[in-house]
Structure 1
Amino acid sequence: MNTVHFFFFFFFDTFFRNFYLNKNQKNYYNGNAINCTLNDTNKKYSFLNNDHLYMHDAEEKVNTSIHRRSYSASNNKKDVIRPESFNFIKVIGVGSYGKVLLVRHIKQNKLYAMKILRKENIISMNQLEHTRIERNVLKCVSHPFIVKMYYAFQTSKKLYFILEYCPGGELFFHLSKIRFVNEKSAKFYMCEIILALQYLHELNIIYRDLKPENVLIDEQGHIKLTDFGLSKEGVTESNSAKSLCGTPEYLAPEIVHQTGHGKAVDWWSLGIMLYEMLTGNLPFNGKSRSDLFEKIKHKKVVYPCSFSPVVVDLLKKLFEKNPKKRLGYGIKDAEEIKSHAFFKNVNWDDVLNKKVKPPFKPNLFNKIDLQNFDKEFLCLSLRSSDRHDSNPTGFDSNTINTIKDFNYNF
């Protein structure tokens, strides 16, 4: 789930780190939203606590999802999963549409992360399609560096994702404490992220939301990508995406231009993240959203003298404004990046098999040690309504409020 961190946003003069825009919907939701108009686009943007920008293009509403047979509970004898199947332990994340809890499956005695979304919020803020996309992507993927979904179910009021629990929390949480890492540590995280993105790209999925907040750390210190609500399925060279979406500071120029974009946007974001990990700062900032976008489109990045020449060379190639000239564009995709001198002597098979020692391993006193999560969330109380939601639908497709093809049992 996307989390909101107070030191990344300011009011009026500057802006949230992330935001969300829907071109098709004229009304903007959320009582805490700040609406403003950008002079260069003359379009209304809504700054929401949800952390994202998203503007639909009509073409992108065409069904381009991965065609796989939907799970059917009617011919499967697996146990029906519902909120009462779990003991609720603690709130570990909060966003505009819901929250994430640490839970324990009662029968299995196993810990999971439970992502809870209120249907009324999802529908009123036009997020249902993104929720479906996240569910579809998580259902179809299986990779060491991507968070695993075990169940998806619903009640009359809420949607539930039961996900792999990563006790190391967000990479963002750790970077906020130490500010930046050295090149060796950054290389470790980059390697695992590259393999995850390469896997997605091979499935013709673009991620579109790479940032430290969406990189989780497991108990051994390895990464897991999470939050696939902004992902796009079915992207090929002949079928590009058109939506203006993502975290603004991480947007590639072609997304800002809205000229169509493909897999290369993920490699631009990889460069942003590498720069941020090495400096503690973002390469592109602005006093306003339009100012930020102008810099993304035209500004050349200034590199600290502490950067090694090989890092500068890699970043320059990832920050190529023209996506067709960007490192990783085209058929070679990740292989072109993996062959760069920065990754010299990397054994990619060892990386994939988790044989490379992480620079950081969470120091956990027990299985429910929550020291790697923001205290702002941990102090929130558990609501009884989350445990005992009314009119549970489970896998009952006859309930009027049931969202079709959402339920899933691994």
Structure 2
Amino acid sequence: IGPHCFELLRVLGKGGYGKVFQVRKVQGTNTGKIFAMKVLKKAKIACNAKDTAHTRAERNILEAVKHPFIVDLIYAFQTGGKLYLILECLSGGELFMQLEREGIFLEDTACFYLSEITLALGHLHSHGIIYRDLKPENIMLNSQGHIKLTDFGLCKESIHDGAVTHTFCGTIEYMAPEILVRSGHNRAVDWWSLGALMYDMLTGSPPFTAENRKKTIDKILKGKLVLPPYLTPDARDLLKKFLKRNPNQRIGGGPGDAADVQKQPFFRHINWEDLLARRLDPPFKPCLQSEEDVSQFDTRFTRQTPVDSPDDAAISESANQAFLGFTYVAPSVLESIKEGFSFQPKVRSPRRLNSSPRTPVSPVKFSPFEVFKPGPPGEPMEVGGSLPPPPEGTAPLPIKSSVGAKKQKGGRGRVPR
């Protein structure tokens, strides 16, 4: 298996480490099938040990974790200068784009997506994995409209009951307070992020925003949670439970994890067994003309000519050691090969806004990003629970002044990692 097995069709995204293409397999098992191909440049990753570790973690997590609401890894391979991840192609695009079109979601719509995300997070946590970068841009929709978590580059492995980690990473607007003050964090950070995402879905922006990063962080650490009066009591109750600053008081932060979240009144109408089996109809089914339809993706990328740049094999042998064992073939593919199976392919005008992306903070440094307009005013409420003090000798990372002018909320977008 290698790059020669795939025909480039479209560019789906681009980031600092490489590109994501829509591709068609042109030989061997699965010939004719459409996939997403994530291409990462070794030279840009290998120069930083943490970037290398996070790349390895992403590939390992994708191999180890199989779930209806988590993207499937089909193949992984490498060349002299590049790493390749072949993933299922999620033609419904980012949940971000759907939220951008709608502005806000009705509570029933938000409840459906939040329910599927809850099951995905619970599955990760059961494997000792913290996701740490939950936001609309990292949630994709398949062709039927069900969600899939993607982009596992900031995940942390081997965090089981009682264990904590101190890495500073994520996307500020969705980042839990304990990450910001580096007091040590565990899987409870994902439930804070789910609360911030829920607030975003129901109001049009995350709960704590300001004109620059420093003020946004100050609001996350000390600001009041403002809940618009139009929210139902069940939604208000769950938001307050998710957005507790003390992770020990936060819903999902205890031993019950996702099971405690599932019991909340906001989800009372969800049949969790049917949800997991994808027997419930999604609130939105993408309008797709074919397997190759990329209408749900950002035209800034899909209009580009797909070109995989020449392979630069000039990477040291010692650097290449970090990528030993990267190759992978999904068990389902191996079974198909054994059985002699060969895949035979089957023979909306949304608002697209061009803007600077909202970029996750790497474990090493801040990346410039734009912020959002605050959500609609409403009844002020104190977020319950105070944050435990950071351990001796630690302090929040220094904050530099923001770069660029404030953008309108409608301008949120993303460049893949």
On whether the aligned pair clears a TM of 0.5, the verdict is yes
Aligned partner of 1:180 among 104, 121, 142 = 104
Distance 1:237 1:356, change over 3 A: same
User: What secondary structure sits across from 2:289 in the alignment?
Assistant: coil
Contact 2:10 2:22 in 1 (8 A): yes
Q: Do residues 109 (structure 1) and 37 (structure 2) align?
A: no
The residue that corresponds to 2:61 in the other structure is 137
The residue that corresponds to 1:122 in the other structure is 45
Greater relative CO, 1 or 2 (CA 8 Å, sep 6+): 2
Q: Do residues 285 (structure 1) and 209 (structure 2) align?
A: yes
Distance 1:391 1:347, change over 3 A: same
Shift of 1:194: 0.3
Shift of 1:91: 0.3
Aligned partner of 2:250 among 326, 350, 359 = 326
Shift of 1:242: 0.8
Shift of 1:290: 2.0
Letter in 2 for 1:310: D
Aligned partner of 1:371 among 270, 284, 295 = 295
Shift of 1:345: 2.5
The residue that corresponds to 2:12 in the other structure is 92
Distance 1:322 1:400, change over 3 A: closer
| Distance in 2 (alpha carbons) for counterparts of 1:96 and 1:391 | 19
Distance 1:401 1:183, change over 3 A: same
User: What secondary structure sits across from 2:219 in the alignment?
Assistant: helix
Q: Percent identity?
A: 46
Where structure 2 has 5 or more consecutive residues not aligned to the other structure, the ranges are 331-417
The residue that corresponds to 2:2 in the other structure is 82
- State the Cα deviation string for residues 192-234 of structure 1 (Å, max 9, x = none): 0000000001111110011110000001100000000100111
| Distance in 2 (alpha carbons) for counterparts of 1:292 and 1:213 | 19
Letter in 2 for 1:406: F
Distance 1:121 1:342, change over 3 A: same
Shift of 1:384: 5.2
Aligned partner of 2:284 among 348, 360, 383 = 360
User: What secondary structure sits across from 1:261 in the alignment?
Assistant: coil
Letter in 2 for 1:151: Y
Contact 1:154 1:407 in 2 (8 A): yes
| Distance in 2 (alpha carbons) for counterparts of 1:208 and 1:354 | 25
Shift of 1:125: 5.0
Contact 2:8 2:307 in 1 (8 A): no
Number of matched pairs: 324
RMSD between superposed Cα atoms in Å = 1.8
Aligned partner of 2:136 among 199, 212, 215 = 212
The residue that corresponds to 1:302 in the other structure is 226
Shift of 1:123: 2.2
Higher mean displacement: 290-299 or 305-314? 290-299
Letter in 2 for 1:383: V
Where structure 1 has 5 or more consecutive residues not aligned to the other structure, the ranges are 1-80
| Distance in 2 (alpha carbons) for counterparts of 1:367 and 1:148 | 17
| Distance in 1 (alpha carbons) for counterparts of 2:88 and 2:74 | 7
Distance 1:405 1:175, change over 3 A: same
Aligned partner of 1:196 among 120, 124, 142 = 120
The 5 Å alignment of 1:137-156 reads 137-156=61-80
- State the Cα deviation string for residues 238-267 of structure 1 (Å, max 9, x = none): 321111110011110111111110111000
Letter in 1 for 2:46: I
The residue that corresponds to 2:94 in the other structure is 170
The residue that corresponds to 1:47 in the other structure is none
Q: Do residues 269 (structure 1) and 189 (structure 2) align?
A: no
Aligned partner of 1:249 among 173, 179, 184 = 173
| Distance in 1 (alpha carbons) for counterparts of 2:83 and 2:284 | 34
The residue that corresponds to 1:404 in the other structure is 324
Distance 1:401 1:240, change over 3 A: closer
TM-score (norm 2): 0.75
